[in-house]
Amino acid sequence: MTRVGIGLGSNVGDGRAELQSAIDMLRLRHRLLRVSSLFRTAPVGPIEQPDFTNAAVLIETEAGPAELLAELHEIERSRGRDRSSEVRFGPRALDLDILIWDELAVEDEALTIPHPRLAERRFALEPLIEVWPGASLPNGTRLLDLWTGVVDQSVQKIEGPTWL
């Protein structure tokens, strides 16, 4: 079994309910170890849209990276997301990202692990650190050491980790 940190986000509909539904689906196939607090964050990108509700989970899985990615995309589809017709960085009911996978590094057309913009985004880094405070990137950089680079970004904790 390997540990995987997954980021969750939603800014269409009831974000809390969307994240809860995704977590319920994940726990059907994987061991859910921890769930972060809920955070409200401003969207990234040039499109005017509502704020996001964000969280992270730490799971243990026997799935491989490609298999888990396909599962995350299926969960998104089941909640109404159509990646083929959406605008990049636009509004979405559900966004699920593999952020970090034990010490694994992957870089191909379909998937990059760790997430390529993890170190730049407090909305992903903060909940991930909450569920996996001792995690490091494959190069040995501790997630906690990346914190100073994003501390100026606005992220508001809206509910503690017992929200689920």
Catalytic positions, written as ranges: 81, 92, 95, 97
**Three-class SS state of 143:** helix
DSSP state of 80: T
Q: Are 157 and 39 in contact (CB under 8 A)?
A: yes
Q: Are 76 and 42 in contact (CB under 8 A)?
A: no
Q: Are 93 and 79 in contact (CB under 8 A)?
A: yes
> How far out from the chain centre does Cα 121 lie?
11
